Structure 1
Amino acid sequence: MSTIKLLDQHTINKIAAGEVVERPASVVKELVENSIDAKSSAITVEIKEGGIQFIRITDNGLGINKGDITTAFLRHSTSKIKSIEDLFTVSSLGFRGEALASIASVSQVEVISKTREEITGVRYVIQGGNEISKDEIGCPEGTTIIVRNLFFNTPARRKFLKSPGTEAGHISDLLNRLSLSHPHISFKYIYNNQVKLHTSGNNQIKDVIFNIYGKDIAKNIIPINYKTEEVEITGFIGKPQISRSNRNYESTYINGRYIKSTLIQKALEEGYKTYLPMHKYPFCVLHYKIESSRIDVNVHPTKMEIRFNNSEELFQLTKKVIIDGLRQIELIPEITLDKEKENKTIYQKGIPEPFEKEKIKALNTTSEKVNNEKDYILKDSKDQELDRKKETTLSKIKVEKNNKDNNQPSKGQTTQNTFVKENINNYSEVKESESKNPVEQLIINEPLLSKSAVSFYQIIGQLFNTYWIVEFKEKFYLIDQHAAHERILYEKILSNIKKANTSSQPLLQPLIIDVDLKEQEVIKKYKRVFEELGFVIEDFGGDSYAIRAVPYILGENLKPEVFLEILDLLSDENYINKFDILLERVALMACKAAVKANNNMSFMETKKLIDDLLNLENPYTCPHGRPTIISMTKYELERKFKRIQ
């Protein structure tokens, strides 16, 4: 008797659904991506009970033709590709034709859709993969898909779902990513009848960042804009002070698709290497535009993994873009003593039908109003910048006058509150422009850490034998002598090694290390690179190697575990330039010679230290990512002493 049987199509669909539909967020992802592919300009997502009981996706896209509605729910039916060759140039988010069939096989689905060409639309109901009804219906252009009772016919799958709150969190994270990848689309997310996210669709990524992450993130990001014939990289990266303890705030997009790439993650973190301490990760929203023929997204059913045919170039390019972006602005963290309450804009309206023209118009009007309210953070227009500075200067004059006279405290307080609200992002610039010192007026646009500023700062004194106080214009700075000296030594060592100013120091007793076959191959492969830096390494027999000499600048500081760590880095294929890896590691080890906290330094030594720091390309952090310098404005200090209310 035959024991091998062919599965029926219904069972096949249920099994296939396991690859595509893992949880409610998977359903939302597939359906919203279909809406995006349908050229929608407004998409509303509503869920209840974490999306387990109810999901509704409404868009104003092209709609589904009546004759295609049934075919759309068959496996491998798609309008995106026609042959295997199309896979290598596909630009749409979906293309396999598996999503609708998989979703319909494990839930109760209702679709209402209409194209522009048709007079009436269609309502199609399918439950557990079985067609229930198909009717003509009057409806606006676009598509609404309702998914009820997910996994109602596969209880074994349903019991592995998390709580409704957890599932809703996954959907929220997904919609945040989609909003950032498509800023030209207005997204609205409603959970249990409450609006959680509403973007304007004005094609400004910074607006979306503000909407999702808030003011503190939006005002501490750096624009990125890089373009070559083959690759275009745009978006924003965060200043070191808004780093996080995990990678959840790293968002990378290739041709509009959110992806997770180990290659790009490592390149990004290499760019931030000496700006962040260990176990801290940067904020970023980076959009890559790469020819479809140069990448392969057909790697995994979720399409979140990707292959590149020029991975080495992309790694180096990403690292360079990050480093260049961080070097273009001053990165000194500023202390603020009182954190103002942040009011995020939430639209308290009923559930919109985004495909209705009247409501689209209303949405645009609302968006314009909101954008005007957020101009102090989100606009870069020079005219608006000048207007704000004028208004702020007038406000500040009123504040100081009121505080000086001390006759009208209530009015002074009102004026000050207005000032803080209107100019929270540019306060220090306005304060600087009012300096009465003509020398300071000459360098009014120069930050402290610039060569032209070296002659104008003033050393006030030292705290706890570790932190030097420096005054410059309307701010004071605290400089950590140990972190600053580490950075200076690190840059000096790198420069000397690159100029071939290196020599070896023989060890009195060779350092014997035991290595496995893989590590032995790394030593053999990069022996010349080791020798260029000053290492002398010999085979000691068996699985052992003897390190007989090290770079002179290391002295006796090399430990076996550090050398093994270097071998691990060299064996990592994502690190392209092996010489740079060795060079940076050696420089880090040599930094142990830096002056320590509580070490006494003379005034002249301190002056030399600060002058050297100011002339570095990256004076903001030590090589391990800790800050070398922080600042505080005169304004914040006066607020603390109640001189300004």
Structure 2
Amino acid sequence: MPIKVLDPKVVSRIAAGEVVERPASVVKELVENSLDAGATQISVEVRRGGVSLIRVIDNGSGIPSGEAELTFNRYATSKIASLEDLVSILSLGFRGEALSSIAAVAEVDLVTCAAGESAGTYLGLKDGVIANRGRHGRSQGTTVTVKNLFRKIPARLKFLKSSVTENSHIANVVSRYALAFPEVRFVLSIDDRVTLRTPGSGQLIDSVTRVYGLEVAQNMLEIKAQGWESGIAPSSPVVTGMVGSPRLSRSSRDYISLFVNRRWMSHRLLAWAVEEAYHGLLMAGKHPVAVINISLPPGEVDVNIHPTKAEVKFRDEHAIFGAVQKAVRQTLIELVPVPQIEELATTPWVASASWLPLPALDKRGGNPAFPPLAAAQAPALSLPVLRVVGQLLSSYIIAEGPDGLYLIDQHAAHERILFEKIRDQWLHREIEVQQLLEPMPFEVSPKQGEILRAQGEKLAEFGFLIEPFGDRTFLVRAVPAPLASHDWQEMLRELLESGGDRGDW
């Protein structure tokens, strides 16, 4: 096949594939445009997972009528004007690709009105080409409506997940920006149902309450800012935000939200810095809740290394890692002060009743005088014979076996036993259900709420009887009997999180 220049429509489709991966990508680009326009109120409406409809309405600066058509040209932007501007970017968008990419894969209607204009400008696009234009009544701001996403790209449409999964991704995107911009009032409506509404008070704790619920908000700690804004060093990072107390944990890292200059980012190293700050404070397999913003001079971070701007590169990554870890650790230490070492008391130390005494050491060799294990040979297919010799931190069982010492996470082991019991009951269609004396309110995040609404019948098969009670609160009327006397709320939350990770149940 000879080399030739691609048709502009093909080029647009290829470029759109990098920017518009799924409906949540469209929501992200449109919300970022609204924030860059200085909006203080942003409404997001989606239907059928965003495939049928996505509408974003804001009260930002609007687009002057003479510039409206330019917004759909590739690389047309008001954010930068020269190469030098790339090293001083503070806006969320800057490439001028979003609207042209969206218009290449969907039908788009734009209504916008700038300050001082008596009427708004209307543009209707199909296949990336303006098909309709006119004047439209509107107050200052912009409304972008996206319909029939990927309708003419069956291959891309086929790879989308269910509406529940796509809705959960959209809820994640809006929730992140609600946390990054607490001064902006966000409203998210999914299939004509409001799933998130923030007050726009400017207080991060208010946004945390609306996104994660009151229980999480009551266990959050504020990080005290330090850094270049307070005159320490021109390039030092300022770390602000909130982190959860050690008694608040989750089974996935999805609750660690990281922002640089209020731009959400995916950064494994910095997520690890947050978790390292909790070293020794959380059980194995548990992760903290954190909302952290890193403020840096624009020249210290490169935000132009990823097609969707989800990843960034720092000039001094080591310094950022240290600043995040230190800020989180200091916040936690203020809550749980490190105990001071004092002189030994004269009274003999008495072991806590929760600890089992270790066997005495053999004076000749220094090894514990355990009884011989030869008489207790385990069958080849069973677990090794273990002898419990103590407990560590009220969380781990210390046991001695043929191959040495074992540390057993007693909480994880107990959860596994409960899981096996419920699974066996489900397989035999003999689920034991425990009715609660009073219905228990259960708050969820927007993402979890979408999964819970869609999978209520499946959960009922396992013994959870749950019904909606408001936007993001549910009433739990019954739980599987094996969980009734345990922390079933945390187990249910973990189930919802794992279901969201897999995409579809």
Q: Tell me the TM-score range normalised by the shorter chain.
A: 0.5 to 0.7
Distance 1:320 1:464, change over 3 A: closer
1:245 aligns with 2:255: no
Mean Cα deviation higher: 99-108 or 238-247: 238-247
Partner letter of residue 282 of structure 1? P
**SS where residue 62 of structure 2 aligns?**
coil
- Is the 8 Å Cα contact of residues 43 and 56 (structure 2) preserved in structure 1? yes
Any idea what the Cα deviations from partners look like across 1:67-89, whole Å, max 9, x if unmatched? Answer: 11111001111110112221111
Find the residue that maps to 1:226 and give its secondary structure: coil
Deviation of 1:465 (Å):
4.8
SS of match in other structure, 1:242: coil
Q: Is the 8 A contact 2:120 2:136 kept in 1?
A: yes
Q: Tell whether the 8 Å contact from 2:239 to 2:323 is kept in structure 1 after alignment.
A: no
The question of whether the paired residues in 2 share the 8 Å contact of 1:274 and 1:625 is answered with no
- In structure 2, what is the Cα distance between the partners aligned to 1:172 and 1:81? 30
**CA deviation after TM superposition for structure 1 residue 240, in Å:** 2.0
AA aligned to 2:390 is K
Which residue pairs with 1:236 in the alignment?
Answer: 242
Give the equivalent residue in structure 2 for 1:262.
Answer: 268
In the alignment, the residues of structure 2 paired with residue 270 and residue 597 of structure 1 have an alpha-carbon distance, to the nearest angstrom, of: 24
Where structure 2 has 5 or more consecutive residues not aligned to the other structure, the ranges are 229-235, 359-388, 393-406, 412-505
Match of 1:202 in 2: 201
Which residue pairs with 2:277 in the alignment? 271
- 2:224 alignment partner, SS class: strand
Secondary structure at the residue paired with 1:328?
helix
**For 2:261 and 2:202, how far apart are their aligned partners in 1?**
15
State how many pairs are aligned. Answer: 360
Give the one of 295, 298, 309 matched to 2:304: 298
- Per the TM alignment, residue 450 of structure 1 is displaced from its structure 2 partner at its CA by 7.4
Please list, as runs of the form range in 1=range in 2, the aligned pairs for 1:114-193 lying within 5 A after superposition: 114-193=113-192
Q: 1:95 to 1:624 in 2, by over 3 A?
A: farther
Say which SS state the counterpart of residue 390 (structure 2) adopts: coil
Letter in 1 for 2:309: K
Write the letter of the residue equivalent to 1:107.
A
- TM-score scaled to structure 1, two decimals? 0.53
Deviations 1:372-395 (A, max 9, x none): xxxxxxxxxxxxxxxxxxxxxxxx
- Which residue does the alignment assign to 1:597? 391
Structure 1: distance between partners of 2:186 and 2:72: 25
Determine if contact 1:276/1:626 at 8 Å carries over to the other structure: no
Question: Structure 2 length normalisation: TM-score?
Answer: 0.67
- Shift in alpha-carbon separation, 1:220–1:624, aligned structure 2, 3 A: farther
Q: How does 1:229-628 map to 2 (within 5 A)?
A: 229=228, 230-330=236-336, 463=353, 465-466=355-356, 596-597=390-391
**C-alpha distance in structure 2 between counterparts of 1:624 and 1:305, whole Å:** 37
Q: CA deviation at 1:310?
A: 1.1
Tell me which residue corresponds to 1:59. 58
Alpha-carbon distance, 1:460 to partner: 11
Whether the aligned pair in 1 keeps the contact of 2:80 and 2:94 (CA below 8 Å) is yes
More helix by share: 1
1:281 maps to a residue whose letter is H
Alpha-carbon distance in 2 for matches of 1:596, 1:144: 64
Distance 2:104 2:350 in 1: 73
Contact kept? 1:43, 1:186, Cα under 8 Å: yes
The 2-side partners of 1:219 and 1:42 are apart by: 26
Task: Report the Cα offset of residue 262 of structure 1.
Answer: 2.1
Deviations 1:446-489 (A, max 9, x none): xx97789x99xxx99954655xxxxxxxxxxxxxx99xxxxxxx
Q: Provide the aligned C-alpha RMSD in A.
A: 3.0
Kindly, what percent of the aligned residue pairs are identical? 38
Question: Per-residue displacement from partner, 1:163-203 (whole Å, max 9, x unpaired)?
Answer: 11110000001111010000010000001111100000011
SS where residue 35 of structure 1 aligns? helix
Distance (Å, rounded) in 2 between the aligned partners of 1:289 and 1:46: 31
Find the residue that maps to 1:82 and give its secondary structure: coil
- After TM superposition, give the deviation of residue 40 of structure 1 in Å: 0.2
- 1:130 and 1:234 mapped to 2: Cα distance? 44
Contact kept in structure 1, 2:185 and 2:198, CA below 8 Å: yes
1:626/1:61 CA distance change after superposition, 3 Å: farther
Q: Give the aligned residue type for 2:39.
A: S
Q: Is residue 40–residue 185 contact of structure 1 (8 Å, CA) maintained in 2?
A: yes
Matched, 1:4 2:3: yes
The residue type paired with residue 326 of structure 1 is L
SS in 1 for 2:188: strand
Q: Quote how far apart the aligned CAs of 1:15 are.
A: 0.9
What letter matches 1:596 in structure 2? G
- How far apart are the structure 1 equivalents of 2:326 and 2:248? 21
